[in-house]
Structure 1
Amino acid sequence: MNLVESLRAHRLLAIVRGKDPAAALRTVTTLAEEGIAAAEVSLTTADALTVIRRARAALGPDAPVGAGTVRTTEDAGRAVDAGASYLVTPALVEGLAGVGVPVLMGALTPSEIERALALGAAAIKLFPASLGGPEYLSALRAPFPEVPFVPVGGVDAAAARDHLDRGATAVGVGSPLIGDAADGGDLGRLRARAAQFRAAIAQETV
Structure 2
Amino acid sequence: MTVNLGAELAAARILAVIRGTDTAGAIAAGTALLEEGVRLVEVALTTPDAVRAVEALRAVAPAGSLVGAGTVLTAADVAAVAAAGAQFVVTPAVVESIAEAARRGLPVAAGALTPTEAYTAMRMGASAVKLFPASVGGAAYLRAVRDPFPDIPFVAVGGVGLADVPGYLKAGAIAVGVGGPLVGDAASGGDLAALRVRARTYLAAVRESAGS
Q: Say whether the fold is shared (TM-score over 0.5).
A: yes
Give the match for residue 27 of structure 1: 29
Give the match for residue 196 of structure 1: 201
- Aligned counterparts of 1:186 and 1:178: Cα–Cα separation in 2: 9
1:163 aligns with 2:168: yes
1:42 aligns with 2:22: no
Give the match for residue 66 of structure 2: 64
Give the match for residue 81 of structure 1: 83
Q: Offset at 1:60?
A: 5.3
Q: Offset at 1:63?
A: 2.9
Give the match for residue 55 of structure 1: 57
Give the match for residue 140 of structure 2: 135
Query: Among residues 12, 19, 37, which one is paired with 2:14 in the alignment?
Result: 12
CA distance 1:63–1:196, shift in 2 (3 Å): closer
- Aligned counterparts of 1:63 and 1:194: Cα–Cα separation in 2: 15
* Bigger Cα displacement from structure 2, 152-161 vs 54-63: 54-63
Q: Is the 8 A contact 2:58 2:67 kept in 1?
A: yes
Matches within 5 A, 1:72-151: 72-94=74-96, 95-96=99-100, 97-151=102-156
CA RMSD of aligned residues (A): 1.3
2:65 partner SS: coil
- The aligned amino acid for 1:76 is V
Q: Is the 8 A contact 2:39 2:64 kept in 1?
A: no
- Aligned counterparts of 2:130 and 2:153: Cα–Cα separation in 1: 9
TM-score (norm 2): 0.94
- Aligned counterparts of 1:48 and 1:61: Cα–Cα separation in 2: 22
- Aligned counterparts of 1:20 and 1:62: Cα–Cα separation in 2: 26
Q: Offset at 1:171?
A: 0.5
Q: Deviations over 1:77-105 (max 9, x none)?
A: 10111110000000001232212210100
Percentage of pairs with the same residue: 50
* Bigger Cα displacement from structure 2, 88-97 vs 53-62: 53-62
Aligned pair count reads 206
TM-score (norm 1): 0.96
CA distance 1:62–1:194, shift in 2 (3 Å): closer
- Aligned counterparts of 2:156 and 2:77: Cα–Cα separation in 1: 23
